[in-house]
A and B are shown apart, each in its own frame.
Chain A
Amino acid sequence: MDWASLAEWTLKSFALIFALLGGFAYLTLFERKLIARFQVRIGPNRAGPFGLLQPVADGIKLIFKEELIPAQADKIIFILAPIITVVPALVIMAVVPFGPPIQLFGRTISLQIIDLNVGVLYIMAIASVSVYGIVLAGWSSNNKYATLGGIRSSAQMISYELALGLAFTGPVLLTSSLSLAEIVEAQRHIWFVLYQPVGAFIFWISTLAEVNRAPFDMPEAEQELTAGYHTEYSGMKFALFFMAEYIKMIAVSAIAVTLFFGGYRGPFVDQVPLLGPIYFLLKVVGFLFLMVWVRATLPRIRYDRLMAFGWKVLFSLALGNAMLTALGVLLADMFQNSLWLWSIPVTTIAFFLLVAYLMRGSIAGGNR
């Protein structure tokens, strides 16, 4: 370990953290503006031009708000819970490459905190840790709504984690590597979403549930749980839960882009490396737009249907997708012909339609 690399790591960590914090601030504005447009309103437009200073105003307001700690709450856990929620959200992006390595001050700097050879496993592990903060927040508040929100949230997140984990196997099967840098490099010619349309779909739906976004925002369903696990929180501690949710939105969009949509790859990236982060950002913003769009369009799904969908439909679908992908890779290797890889989208989409046909009415239609 030398001081130059320590300085590089510190600077890169700071850059990542502040990029995520800035991204969080403007994602809230982005979402409010878009939702307003979807509902034929104007949205925030008072603070600064086009409401661009709105996030700053919100932040300052939240700092000066009263911090309530209920008398019966478990004080230490109550204060720790927002920190435990936000830290996994901040560190999950460490393995995602933002661009090809660049030359700066005679050093080769990779635009990635760390290229772990177990990157996919790291993402799964950190995503699981983020359940703890929410459960602890709900439990330590000593409030019925908060406890129920926390428990619901944990059950939902662990249920959708199964499908999420199986959706990871598709890109891993195709690259034979867990390193995200290698997964991006393997998509130099073709994005994995073309081989893995069903896999990308499963991944996207289960990440929506994983970050508690609409239509899977049962843990914070306002109409029945007031605010779910953060009912008793106010001021900056409430803001940290909000921050964790929005940073996780950015993180899962970035991971989806890396696994299925070529990461930072795009035309002319090899000649001009600085184009990489720009392509990456554009793709991530596209995904964030989709998430807001889904929230503006779909109503919240009922809790029993949510669990049934996760376990019965999504898990079976993810399992079938993983095995069919393995079959396609096997055929391509046996016949030494990569055209066989195109059997994967054909068989997985057929399987998807079959499952959709078998499950029709059992989840969405009827009373149960």
Chain B
Amino acid sequence: MSEYLPLVVLFILSTLVAAIAVALGHLFGPRRPTERKLQPYESGMTPFGPGTRRMPVRFYLVAVLFILFDIEVVFFIPWAVVYRKLGLFGFVEMLLFAGILEIAFVYAWKKGALEWE
């Protein structure tokens, strides 16, 4: 794992830089909170109801489809690395794998899962 140490250094330093930036604002900025100011912004109207409400179910559908096809993409990357060693076998294998998944893709498309109503 020691070859990842430079990355750890970079992570720590960039977190520090970001935290210092936030701290600077809190240190130097004025603080004059009023009740009106602390309300959620709603274009000047008095806000009503909860701020975080239920989301349209479309977004969940997109998330589920994403998981399915992102795993396909993740399979593509290691396959691409060893592809020249696999040759014809690798090509046919991936064609079969992607083909089976694309049946699901076409099914989702025809079912209207990709339409945004």
Residues of chain A contacted by B87 (CB below 8 angstroms): 330, 333-334
Q: What is the bound-complex CA distance between A322 and B1, given in angstroms?
A: 32
A270 sits at the interface (CB 8 A): no
Task: Give Cα A155 to B63, complex, Å.
Answer: 7
Contact partners of A10 in chain B: CB under 8 A: 9, 13
Given A13-B9, A169-B80, A319-B102, A141:B62 Cβ within 8 A: no
Q: Considering only CB atoms, which chain A residue lies closest to B32 in the complex?
A: A66
Distance between Cα atoms of A172 and B26 in the complex (Å):
45
Contact of A17 among B17, B52, B73, B109 (CB under 8 A): B17
B97 to nearest A CB, angstroms? 11
Query: In the complex, what's the smallest C-beta–C-beta distance from B92 to chain A, in angstroms?
Result: 10
- Shortest C-beta distance, B27 to chain A (Å), equals 8
B2:A14 contact, CB within 8 angstroms = no
Name the contact of B14 in the complex, choosing from A6, A87, A143, A315 (C-beta under 8 A): A87
A144 at the interface (CB under 8 A from B): yes
CB neighbours of B91 from chain A (8 A):
326-327, 330
Check B51 against A144 for contact (C-beta < 8 Å): yes
Q: How far is the CB of B105 from chain A (nearest CB, A)?
A: 8
B15, B18, B109, B116: the one within 8 Å of A307 (CB): B116
B78-99 interface (Cβ within 8 A of A): 80-85, 87-88, 90-91, 94-95, 98
**B contacts with A, residue count (CB < 8 A):** 71
Q: How far is the CA of A169 from the CA of B33 in the complex (A)?
A: 52
Set of chain A residues within 8 Å of B29, measured between Cβ atoms: 63-67, 235-236
- How far apart are B73's CB and chain A's nearest CB, in angstroms? 4
Q: Contacts A65-B29, A70-B39: A83 and B81 contacting too (C-beta < 8 A)?
A: no
Q: A165-B74, A307-B114 are in contact. List 18 more A-B contacts (CB 8 A).
A: A13-B10, A63-B24, A64-B30, A72-B40, A90-B17, A114-B10, A151-B55, A158-B66, A161-B73, A162-B66, A162-B73, A176-B82, A239-B25, A307-B62, A307-B116, A308-B114, A315-B105, A319-B102
- Chain A residues with CB under 8 Å of chain B are 1, 6, 9-10, 12-14, 16-17, 21, 62-72, 79, 82-83, 86-87, 90-91, 94, 113-114, 116, 120-121, 124, 139, 141-147, 151, 154-155, 158-159, 161-162, 165-166, 168-169, 172-173, 176-178, 226, 231-232, 235-237, 239-240, 243, 303-304, 307-308, 311-312, 315, 319, 322-323, 326-327, 329-330, 333-334
